[in-house]
Amino acid sequence: MFCEVFRRLVEFGRVDTYRYIGFGSTFFSDFSLFHKSLKITNNVSIEREIGDKERFEFNLPYSCIELKFGESNEILPKLPWDDVRTIIWLDYDSPVSQSVLTDVAFVCANASGGSVLVVTVDAKPDHYDKRIQSLKERVGEQKVPRDLSDAKLGGWGTADASRRIISNEIEATLNSRNGVRGPGNKFEYKQLFNFHYADGHKMLTVGGILYDEGQEDLLAKCGFENLEFIKTGKEPYLIEVPSLTLKEIRHLDKRLPCCDPRDLDASWIPERDRVCYAKIYRYFPAFVDAEIG
């Protein structure tokens, strides 16, 4: 889904001239995908586990990925930002926190027009009677919306609250950045992603594009709104992973796309799994049968 969106950034400039910044870890899956699909060769992977430096270097899939060891709060300010269109995916495995907001604010204060910021955080609710207190301790009391309560942070409520807090940080940072910019040259942010999904437990991925007012025509030409998973407000796009065998996947693939997945010739597959797969089949990971002797 990210690749589908990033390809449309061509209106702002050749996508292969963008820089990609991420947290590769030992697998570097996102770097491999974006290099193969988008031909991005300017890549920076921020790794906080300095003690595993040798392992990261061994697993590096391509020579065009530069490793930077340390906390993202420390590394991001050391990178060049002038006239470098950037796709950055801050893929945390922890809840929203002041450290996360510090990174978000820095990117929004320094990124060039046409850059994309994506943030992933853990959205698992805390224990019922500690939700608001825990959130205040992580991000600061002044950044927690006053209408929230322990009850409202249940279910997907923590994900929605995290999105609001991140969006508020983006808005506040751009307001400050725009204070010295003249009319017609102010920076804007358009949300594109609001993914809810369960990766062991609830996760949130939110993000969008940063651009200046003079680039609004370029933004319109991208046609992001033509993609069904684009969400510009509080309504999320829920990614549900169907439970299917490889044989069932192949059977469904031969009948897709279709108008109504409920009518697919596969009555033995639960309707929920048919509908879920039909929504995301183009982005579903490819698997290969293998026999081990």
DSSP per residue, 242-280 = ----HHHHHHHHTT-S-S-GGGSS-TTS-HHHHHHHHHH
Distance of alpha carbon 194 from the chain centroid: 8
With 0-12 CB in 10 A as exposed, 13-18 as middle and 19+ as buried, what is 241? middle
Q: What is the count of structural domains for the chain?
A: 2
Please, where are the H alpha helices in the chain? 2-6, 29-38, 53-59, 72-75, 98-110, 131-139, 157-177, 216-222, 246-253, 271-280
What does the alpha-carbon distance between residue 82 and residue 91 come to, in Å, rounded to a whole number?
Answer: 23
In a domain, 289, yes or no: no
Verify that 161 and 220 share a domain, yes or no: yes
In a domain, 134, yes or no: yes
In a domain, 189, yes or no: yes
177's CB contacts (< 8 A; 6+ apart) are 108, 109, 187
In a domain, 133, yes or no: yes
Verify that 128 and 232 share a domain, yes or no: yes
Looking at residue 79, its pLDDT comes to 98
Looking at residue 164, its pLDDT comes to 98
Verify that 96 and 205 share a domain, yes or no: yes
Verify that 27 and 107 share a domain, yes or no: yes
Question: 149: closest CA among 169, 168, 129, 163?
Answer: 129
Whole-prediction pTM value? 0.93
Verify that 91 and 110 share a domain, yes or no: yes
Structure confidence by residue, pLDDT tens digits, 5-20: 999 999 999 999 999 9
248's CB contacts (< 8 A; 6+ apart) are 266, 269
**Could you give the dihedral angle defined by the CA atoms of residues 5, 1, 206 and 159, in that order, rounded to the nearest 10 degrees?**
160
CATH number at residue 25: 3.40.50.150
Separation in Å, CA 89 to CA 21, 75, 152, 208: 6, 14, 28, 11
Structure confidence by residue, pLDDT tens digits, 46-63: 999 999 999 999 999 999
Verify that 68 and 199 share a domain, yes or no: yes
Q: Name the stretches of the chain with pLDDT < 50.
A: none
Looking at residue 288, its pLDDT comes to 58
Looking at residue 171, its pLDDT comes to 98
Looking at residue 291, its pLDDT comes to 62
Q: Which residue has the tokens 């697998």?
A: 27
Verify that 137 and 13 share a domain, yes or no: yes
Q: Which residue has the tokens 């990925």?
A: 65
Looking at residue 289, its pLDDT comes to 62
Looking at residue 150, its pLDDT comes to 96
What does the alpha-carbon distance between residue 166 and residue 97 come to, in Å, rounded to a whole number?
Answer: 10
259's CB contacts (< 8 A; 6+ apart) are none
In a domain, 288, yes or no: no
Verify that 112 and 68 share a domain, yes or no: yes
What does the alpha-carbon distance between residue 103 and residue 34 come to, in Å, rounded to a whole number?
Answer: 22
Looking at residue 35, its pLDDT comes to 98
Domain that holds residue 264: 246-283
In a domain, 292, yes or no: no
Verify that 253 and 123 share a domain, yes or no: no
In a domain, 293, yes or no: no
Q: Which two tokens stand for residue 100?
A: 């996360």
Verify that 111 and 251 share a domain, yes or no: no
Phi, psi torsion values for 166, nearest 5 degrees? -65, -45
